[in-house]
Amino acid sequence: MKRVFSGVQPTGNIHIGNYLGALRQFVELQNENDCIYCIVDMHSITVPQDPRELRKHTLDVAALYMAIGVDPKKATVFVQSDVPGHAELSWVLTCSSYTGELSRMTQFKDKSKGKESAPTGLFSYPVLMAADILLYDSNVVPVGNDQKQHIELCRDLAIRVNNKYGETFVIPEGRFLKEGARIMALDDPASKMSKSAENPLSRISLLDDESKIKKSIMKSTTDSEGTIRFDIANKPGVSNLINIYSSFSGMSVEEIEKKYDGCGYGEFKKDLVQVTSESLKPIRERFEDIRNSDELIRILKDGAEKANAISEKTMARVKDRFGLGIGK
Ligand code: AQP
């Protein structure tokens, strides 16, 4: 049985990019693996957060995990800041990382673009992410394609420590869905769909109702050609919509192109609204029940307890290898 670890930041409501790119894998993996799914709230504070909103989103994301089908009887679900080992290991790994490699991370470059000075946490974000993964001796990390570079850094850090201090960490593998699983912003298909983008119409949240879904899709950026054809280089907006259609309906790109041959964007978009709304409605309904039940907090407390037990073992090993503390 493999150990699987992944997390989502509670920076806002989970959108269909997070869901189709990463979270959908969580559910299928939990049946045959030892899965640990975290709400990575400490990553969220790398950019300013309203404390009340952060806590609300933390519980929302936890409830959404379960609404999409994560089963707390099969998987461990908890909040990152409830397990101190993440911060502890992050510091140890920070001391084995280099500013050069961190400054090459494209996410840091994107998020700090145009700023004279960026928060240190934003810079060292990938080290905390490496700590999240290595703390649990994870074998597999299901994430979106945008995280490939961070997974590579995590592996490099683990190998570096193992070479210098002796076998300490399991070397994890990223699990990425096919290239098309990267969902782009609806108002700008050159940028990825993002929770924290300013324009709410740039994304579809899993909790959006039909009228918001309709508004986002009907206003989405396309092109002037007028044909439903998958061509990322020349038709990025339409290709992104085809991708979303295909992911929710299970139809292949070719089937969709054939179905909408000769149709205009209006008709295609209208159908996409329906396909998306039908897929998200049951998630939204389950979310309401779970979010309003007392069970949610109990599940997160139990999850943190289980995660802590694993994390303490790893930290004892790490401290021993590095000569930290007074020893046994
Ligand atoms: N647009 C996307 N398409 C496919 N996968 C995506 N992921 C994120 N955006 C897309 C994947 O979703 C998982 C959770 O992401 P995260 O919350 O850890 O952080 P993120 O990648 O920074 O996501 P956002 O939505 O863009 O949040 P903000 O705006 O706060 O930065 C990850 O596995 C990610 O790959």
219 counts as catalytic: no
> Does residue 130 lie in a domain region?
yes
Say if CB 7 and CB 141 are below 8 A apart.
no
Structure tokens at 110: 């994107």
The question of whether 192 is a catalytic residue gets the answer yes
Pair (171, 280) in one structural domain: no
**Catalytic residue check, 301:** no
Q: Is residue 70 part of a domain?
A: yes
pLDDT at 179 (0 to 100): 57
Number of domains present in the structure of the chain = 2
Judged against a pLDDT cut of 70, whether residue 8 lies above it is answered with: yes
Average of pLDDT values for 36-58?
Answer: 96
Helix (H) / strand (E) element for 35: namely strand 34-39
For residue 150 and ligand 1, the question of a CB distance below 6 A is answered with no
195 C-beta closer than 6 A to ligand 1: yes
Q: Given a cut of 90, is residue 113 above it in pLDDT?
A: no
Indicate the top mutation candidate among 5, 13, 18 to test ligand 1's pocket, ranked by most ligand atoms within 8 A of CB: 18
**CB atoms inside a 10 Å sphere around CB 97:** 18
Judgement on whether residues 129 and 246 belong to the same structural domain of the protein: no
Percent of the chain with pLDDT over 90: 89
Non-local CB neighbours of 148 within 8 Å, separated by 6+ positions: 174, 176
ipTM score of complex: 0.95
Of the ranges 26-35, 113-122, 276-285, 289-298, which one carries the lowest mean pLDDT score?
113-122
Q: Is residue 280 a part of any domain in this protein?
A: yes
We report the CATH number of the domain holding residue 282 as: 1.10.240.10
CB under 8 Å to 105, separation ≥6 — which residues?
125, 126, 149, 150, 153
Helix ranges (H only) for 135-235 are 148-165, 210-218
Segment 225-270, tens digit of pLDDT: 999 999 999 999 999 999 999 999 999 999 999 999 999 999 999 9
In the set 73, 113, 148, 195, the catalytic residue is 195
Q: Quick one: 260 and 305 in the same domain?
A: no
Q: Do 168 and 219 lie in a common domain? A: no
**pLDDT at residue 182 tops 90:** no
Q: What was the pLDDT predicted at 327?
A: 86
Residue 24 is classified by DSSP as H
> What residues does 5 pair with on adjacent strands?
36
Instruction: Let me know if residue 186 belongs to a domain.
Output: no
In this structure, the answer to whether residues 44 and 141 fall within a common structural domain is: yes
Q: Tell me the pLDDT of the chain averaged across its residues.
A: 95
pLDDT of 110: 87
Within a domain: residue 194? no
pLDDT band of 114, cuts 50, 70, 90: confident
Q: How confident is the model at residue 196 (pLDDT cuts 50, 70, 90)?
A: confident
Structural domain containing residue 272: 200-288
CATH code of 314's domain: 3.40.50.620
Cα(8)–Cα(204) distance, rounded to whole angstroms?
A: 16
On whether both 15 and 105 belong to a single domain, the answer is yes
- Cβ–ligand 1 contact at 21 (below 6 Å): yes
pTM: 0.92
Tokens of 53: 């909103």
Please report, rounded to a whole number, the percentage of residues in the chain having pLDDT higher than 70: 99
Task: Establish if 42 belongs to a structural domain.
Answer: yes
pLDDT of residue 246: 95
